[in-house]
Amino acid sequence: MSAPVTISIDAMGGDHAPGIVVEGVHLAHVRLPHVRYVLFGDSSRIEPLLDRWSDLRGVCTVRHTEDEVSGDAKPSQVLRTGRRSSMWLAVDAVARGETAGVVSAGNTGALMAVSKFVLRTLPGIDRPAIAAMFPTERGETLMLDMGANVDCNANNLIEFAVMGEVFARNVLGLEQPSIGLLNVGSEDLKGNDAVRAAANALRGSHLPIRFHGFVEGNDIAAGTVDVVVTDGFTGNIALKTAEGTVKLYSTYMKEAFKSSFLAKIGYLLARQAIGKVKARTDPRRYNGAMFLGLNGIAVKSHGGTDAFGFANAIGVAVDLVTHGYNDRIRGEFEALKAEEAEMTQRAAGG
């Protein structure tokens, strides 16, 4: 039996809150009966939903909040005036140790700003990153950063590589995960200064990292490496380009299956099999972007997802908690800093 885990839920975040949020908690509860929840939000809207999903009464506590963060609020504004919002208080519960992690489908920029401010970054980490899983030809690949840091230098990329490696080893359970740096070509001379400098450092380092070298855009879906590292600008665009391409392909398939009588019959016969493809590429299945590098677990659900997608985001947060990701990464960065200090001392001592 799993040890109990308590998760903060920002019940007011996302396009269809609090309805799909509470329904998502219900779906998660069916899968993960050992998890408890603290729901932050407007209790007059949450309570009727708990009447509907009455199995949740025993595992949910409602914490009434007056305020909520709107989808278009600027992060800086939320930092100044958002302290009584459901999002802020849900994150704050993690900082105070009341809950082990937070899930929100609210404004991404605000959630990152509040999480950074309230939880702080882990010692030795300059910038947290957003990480997400991608389906690939070989299984699944972790990719980071997906949009937290638009401009990244080589050091940021190296930190992302370490955070991704620790995740792949501890949460995905891979023994020696391979790490690739996303670039426009696999040759050493390709790319911008940041990726070239990061690659040189990762090649030469004493880090216990299996650095594959550069990977290209097509390597993401091919599953060439277990962890793809990139800046937040490129990562965000790659993720959304892949989502758009899946949508385009499935539109083409739909049109094709309607294009002739034989194709329609063929569709009816193969429908179940085709449904499996849809399920494998369903963005809801990969919902739940992880904010890595913070002193606490925070997971961002897509704002437009449904209950199924929100439940998956809860599953991601529970996974991070259960595998003690943050303790692992803290230990890893402490070892790194100690090694750096020793090398500096050795260099100084001649």
Provide the binding-site residues for a copy of itself, judged by CB under 8 A: 72, 74, 135-137, 147, 150-151, 182-184, 187, 189-192, 216-222, 230, 232-234, 236-253, 255-257, 259-260, 262-263, 265-274, 276-277, 280-281
Distance CA 177, CA 165 (A): 6
Nearer to a copy of itself, 76 or 176 (CB): 76
C-alpha distances (whole Å) from 189 to each of 53, 195, 199, 215, 235 are: 58, 10, 11, 13, 21
Closer CB to a copy of itself, 81 or 259, in the complex: 259
Pick the closest to residue 106 from 79, 75, 69, 132 (CA basis): 69
Largest CA distance in the chain: 81
Nearer CB in complex with a copy of itself: 99/236: 236
CA–CA separation, 253 vs 251, rounded Å? 5
Q: Which residue has the tokens 């091919």?
A: 222
DSSP 8-state code for residue 54: G
For residue 146, the SS3 value is coil
For residue 239, the minimal CB distance to a copy of itself (Å) is 7
- State the Cα–Cα distance between residues 279 and 294, nearest whole angstrom: 32
How far apart are CB 235 and a copy of itself at their closest, in Å?
9
Q: Which of 64, 15, 19 is nearest to 39 (CA)?
A: 64
User: How near is the Cβ of 186 to a copy of itself at its closest, in Å?
Assistant: 11
Closer residue to a copy of itself, CB minimum distance, 34 or 240: 240
Q: Which is nearer to a copy of itself, 53 or 267 (CB)?
A: 267
Considering the complex, state which of residue 192 and residue 200 has its C-beta at the smaller distance from a copy of itself.
Answer: 192
Contact criterion met (CB below 8 Å) for 116 and 128: yes
Task: Decide whether 190 or 330 has the Cβ nearer to a copy of itself.
Answer: 190
The H or E element spanning position 164 is helix 154-170
* Residue 229: count of CB within 10 angstroms of its CB: 33
Half-sphere exposure of 13 (CA within 13 A, CB side): 30
In angstroms, give the least distance from the CB of 268 to a copy of itself.
7
Q: How far is the CB of 192 from a copy of itself (least distance, A)?
A: 5
Q: Read off the DSSP letter of residue 180.
A: E
Closer CB to a copy of itself, 249 or 339, in the complex: 249
User: Which one, 25 or 181, has the nearer CB to a copy of itself?
Assistant: 181
Cβ of residue 264: shortest distance to a copy of itself, in angstroms?
8
Number of H helices, E strands in the chain: 12, 11
Shortest Å distance, C-beta 74 to a copy of itself: 7
Measured distance CA(15)–CA(266) in Å, rounded:
37
How far are the Cα atoms of 38, 84, 147, 179, 295 from residue 92, in angstroms, in the given order?
A: 12, 10, 23, 33, 12
CB of 111 to a copy of itself, least distance (A): 14
Minimum Å gap between C-beta 49 and a copy of itself is 30
